[in-house]
Structure 1
Amino acid sequence: MLSVSGEPDRPRLDSLTSLRFFAAVGVVAVHVEGTFPTVGAVGGAAELGYTGVSFFFALSGFVLTWSARPVDSRWDFYARRFARIWPAHAVVTLAAIVVAYVAGVRPVWAALPLVLLLVHVWAPPPSWHYAFNGPSWSLSAEAFFYALFPFLIGAAAWPAARLRRAAALVVAALVIGALAVVAVVPDTAWGFLLYLNPAYRIGEFMLGMGLAVAIRRGWRPHWPIAVPVAAVVVVYAAVAWLAPRDSEGQIPRVLADSALLPAFLALIAVAAGADLDRRRTLLRCRPLVWLGERSFALYLVHASVIKLLAAALGGGRPLSPGRWPALAAGVLAVSVAVASLLFAVVERPAERWLRRRLTRSGRKAPVR
C-alpha cells in the first residue's frame, strides 16, 4: 500500500500512483458486495475486487526496489516504512473500535496487541486475521515483506541471467505451492495458505522487485498502455464468468490472483516505462495522481464506512444490479472524503515527523 515518488536520481512515476487508486477501488467494490450483495455481471465484477491486493503487493516490491539507494541503512529503511504505514493504521484501528460498537459488533480484544504490532495475520484464530479493521491483514503481510527487503535487495546486483533464473524459480514455487495445497489440503484452508499467508504472497512482492531491477537496467516495454489495460480487463472478465468455483460457490482466490498477476506486472512495467519516456497518458493527470496519493488511506477507512452504512440501514441487504452501482459510488465518495482527512491530518504529517526523528541522519527523507 505505497505511494510512488522519485528520489533525487529517480524520476517520479505518477502513473503508478494513479493505478493504486483503481486497485483500491476494486477492494472497496468487493467489500461493498460482501455487505450488499448483488447478482449478474455487476456482482461478478465486484466479486473479484480482492485481486487489487495482488496488484498492491507486486507494486510494493517494484516501488521499494526502484527507489532503493546504496547509502540507505537497514535502520533508515525500517524507520521510513514504520513512519509510512503505522500512524494511519493505528488511528484507523482505534477508530474501528468505536465503529464496531456502533455497528453492534463485539471487538476481538485479545487480537488488539497483535493488530497494532502488525503480526495478526500469523495468529491461528481466523477471526484475528480481520480483527478491528479487516483490510489491515495485508499490512501485516507487508510488514513481513519489509522485514525481508533489506536482505532481498542484494539480488538487484545479480547478473541478468541469474535474475531470470530466480524469477523463474519464484514463479515455479508459486505454482507448485498452489497445486500442492489444492491437491492435499481441504478448500476450507485455502484462504489462509494461498491468500492471507505472507510466506506465499511474498512471491508477488519479489516479482515486482525483479521487474523494477529490469526497468532500472534500461529495459522498456514500448507497448501502448491500452494493451496491458485491455489484458487486465479481458482476464478479469474471463475469470469472473468462466472460472470454476469451490465447494462454497466461490472462485478460488489463488486462481484469480494467479491469472491476473502477469497482466498486473505488464501494466506496472508499461506505466513505469511511459513515465520514464515522458509519454503523455491519462494516468499522469493531476486528479488521478491526487486520488492515488490518498489510496492507502482509502484502503484503510472504507471498511469502517461500509460497516456504518450497514448499521444505518439496519444491516446489509441484497441489491438489484441497477441500484448497486449508485450505492457503491456513494460509499467510494464518502470513503475518499474520509481518506483525504486522514491523509491530511494523520498520514502525511505523522510520516514527516517520524522520519525526521527516527532516521539516523535526521534528514527529511522524501516521502514515497
Structure 2
Amino acid sequence: MTTPASAAPPSRLDSLTSLRFFAAAAVVIVHLQAAFDLPYIIEEVASLGYVGVTFFFVLSGFVLTWTAKPGDAARLFYSRRFARIWPAHVAVIALAVPVIYLAGKKIVWGALPFVLTLTQLWIPSKEWRNAFNPPAWSLAAEVFFYALFPFLIRVARWQQQRLRCLAVTTVAMMAISALAVVSLAPDVAWGYLLVTNPLYRLGEFILGMLLAIAMRRGWRASWPTWLAAAGCVFPYLALLMFAPHDSMGNVPRFLTNLALLPFFLAIIAAAATADIKGRRTLLRKRSLVILGDRSFALYLIHWQLILVLEAGVAGRTLNPTASLALAIGLLAASVGAAHLLYVAVERPAERRLRSFLTRRLAKPRSIDEGWLDSQGAGNVVMVSNSRSLV
C-alpha cells in the first residue's frame, strides 16, 4: 500500500474524464427507461443506472483531493467551484421554465430561490427538491461536500488518521443503512434518508478523497480497469434477481449504491493508475475524453429534452420498439445539446467567472496548510485540467 511511484505522475488523468461520460449516460438511460415503454430486458438492465450518481460522488472526492494545491485558499476553492457549476446550472433552470410550461407540468415557483442556490435538499418537500430540474439534486449534495472540503482535507493530511477515517466512514454508512431500514418507513429510509440526504452521501465523497490520498502517496492499483468494471456485473445481476423490492417494484437504491461502491473505487484506482503509468488505453481516446468533458452538461440538460419528447408523444400508444428508437434518438440529441451547452455557456462562463473572482479575492488562510510538509514535495500532484462532475 505504500509502493513509491517510479516517475512523476502526469498533469492530467484523461481516463477519469472519459469515465464521467459513462456515468452520466447511465443516469440518462435510467430516466429514459422511466419515461418510455422500452423492451423488458433493456428496462431491467437500465433500471439501476442511477448508480452513476454514486460514481460521481466518489470521483468528485477523488479529483478534488488529487488536484488540491499547496497554498490554495478556502475562498479561492469556493470561487472555483462556484464558477464550475453555477453558470450551466442557471442556464438550464432558465430553459426549464418554458419547457415545463410546454409539457403541461406544474412550476413550483416557491422552490426557485432554493434551486438557484442549490439548497433544495434541505427542504422536506419532495416536490421542492425535484423542482425545475430533478437531476440537480446531486449538485445540491455536492455543494454541501464543497462546504466541508477545506476542513476534510486538513483532517486527511495526518496519515495515522486515514485508516481510521476509512473504517469509520464505511461502518457508519452500513450502520445508518441498517438502522434506517429497521426503524423507519420504506418511503423515508429508502428514499430521502439514504438516497438524497447529503449527510449520508458524504461518505461516498470521503471514500474518494481517501483513495486519492493513498495514490498521492504512491500506492497504485494492481488490477486493470476492465477487470474492475467487469466485477460490477455480478452484484448488478444479483441485485436485479434477488434483492428485496420496494412498493413500486424497484430495487432500493441504497442497496445498489452500497453493493457497487467498492467496484467504483476499484475502477477509479485502476484508471488513474493506468494514466499515471502512461498506458495507452481505450479510456484515453480523444473522442471519449471530449464526451467526458461534456458529461456535466449532459447530466443537466437531458431531463428537459425528455419533457419535450413526452409532450410530443402524449396520447399516442407506442410499442416497445418505437419507444426504443425514440430513446436512442433522445440520447443522441442530449449529447448534441450538451455540446452546445458546454461550448456556449459552461466553458466560457467558467473561464470568465473564475478569472474575475480570482482577481477580486485576496489571499486568506490556506485550505490545506501543512499538506506539502505532510506529503513530501515529490508526491504533490497538480492536475489543473481534471474537472469533477456532480
- Shorter-chain-normalised TM-score: which range? over 0.9
Name the residue aligned to 2:377. none
Matches within 5 A, 1:1-368: 11-38=11-38, 40-159=40-159, 161-189=160-188, 190-314=190-314, 319-320=319-320, 322-360=321-359, 366=384, 368=387
Counterpart contact for 2:9–2:277, Cα < 8 Å: no
Percent of pairs with identical residues: 53
Report the secondary structure of 2:249's partner residue. coil
Runs of 4+ in 1 over 4 A off after TM superposition: 315-319, 360-363
Residue 38 of structure 1: how far off its partner (Å): 3.3
In structure 2, give the amino acid aligned to 1:310. Answer: E
Counterpart contact for 2:39–2:324, Cα < 8 Å: no
Mark the structure with the bigger radius of gyration: 2
Counterpart contact for 1:298–1:335, Cα < 8 Å: yes
> For the structure 1 residues 154 and 105, does the alpha-carbon distance in structure 2 shift closer, same or farther, using more than 3 Å as the test?
same
Counterpart contact for 2:27–2:50, Cα < 8 Å: yes
Structure 1 residues 146-188: Cα deviation after superposition (integer angstroms, max 9, x where no partner): 00001101133211x4211110100000000011100011001
TM-score by length of 2: 0.88
Report the secondary structure of 2:38's partner residue. coil
Counterpart contact for 1:37–1:317, Cα < 8 Å: no
Counterpart contact for 2:38–2:324, Cα < 8 Å: no
TM-score by length of 1: 0.93
In structure 1, give the amino acid aligned to 2:349. Answer: A
CA distance in 2, matches of 1:309, 1:237: 31
Structure 1 residues 58-82: Cα deviation after superposition (integer angstroms, max 9, x where no partner): 0000000000012100010000000
> For the structure 1 residues 323 and 259, does the alpha-carbon distance in structure 2 shift closer, same or farther, using more than 3 Å as the test?
farther
Name the residue aligned to 1:3. none
Counterpart contact for 1:36–1:317, Cα < 8 Å: no
> For the structure 1 residues 347 and 315, does the alpha-carbon distance in structure 2 shift closer, same or farther, using more than 3 Å as the test?
farther
- Gaps (5+ residues) in structure 2? 1-7, 363-382
Work out the number of aligned pairs and report it.
358
CA distance in 1, matches of 2:32, 2:207: 30
Report the secondary structure of 1:359's partner residue. helix
In structure 1, give the amino acid aligned to 2:147. Answer: A
Higher relative contact order (CA 8 A, sep 6+): 2
CA distance in 2, matches of 1:207, 1:349: 32
> For the structure 1 residues 300 and 144, does the alpha-carbon distance in structure 2 shift closer, same or farther, using more than 3 Å as the test?
same
> For the structure 1 residues 184 and 213, does the alpha-carbon distance in structure 2 shift closer, same or farther, using more than 3 Å as the test?
same
Residue 228 of structure 1: how far off its partner (Å): 0.5
Counterpart contact for 1:75–1:359, Cα < 8 Å: no
- Gaps (5+ residues) in structure 1? 1-7
